[in-house]
């Protein structure tokens, strides 16, 4: 079932500020399944950013369950890659 991607209210503001300093920005919020909101390229490095609205209560700024799982799986993969082995499913 398709679910419309939610866009943080300040995503446009964050994206504009990043581009203003020379960063490249790829929007990822529509990927869903816990994937971070944007991919940022800046000074030869790439960063995955999860945007949260600082104007909302702290409880509304927490990662969703899907985001926690996505980040955990990525960290597990990156650690495995750093040490030269891969976990097989």
pLDDT of 70 reads 85
Residue 6 included in any domain = no
Residue 20 included in any domain = yes
Determine the distance from the C-alpha atom of residue 10 to the mean position of all C-alpha atoms in its chain, rounded to a whole number.
14
Please name the residue that has the structure tokens 């890659």. 81
pLDDT 10s digits, 22-69:
999 999 988 988 889 999 999 998 988 888 888 888 888 888 889 888
pTM here is 0.72
Residue 56 included in any domain = yes
Residue 47 included in any domain = yes
If one counts the domains in the chain, the total is 1
Residue 4 included in any domain = no
Residue 88 included in any domain = no
Residue 38 included in any domain = yes
Residue 51 · residue 16 · CB < 8 Å: no
Give 49 or 5, the one with higher predicted confidence. Answer: 49
């Amino acid at each position: 079932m398709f679910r419309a991607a939610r866009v943080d209210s300040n995503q446009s503001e964050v994206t504009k500020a990043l581009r203003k300093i020379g960063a490249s920005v790829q929007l990822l919020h529509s990927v869903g399944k816990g994937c971070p909101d944007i991919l940022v390229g800046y000074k030869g490095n790439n960063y995955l950013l999860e945007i949260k609205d600082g104007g909302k209560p702290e409880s509304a700024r927490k990662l969703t369950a899907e985001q926690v799982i996505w980040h955990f799986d990525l960290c597990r993969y990156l650690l495995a890659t750093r040490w030269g082995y891969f976990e097989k499913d």
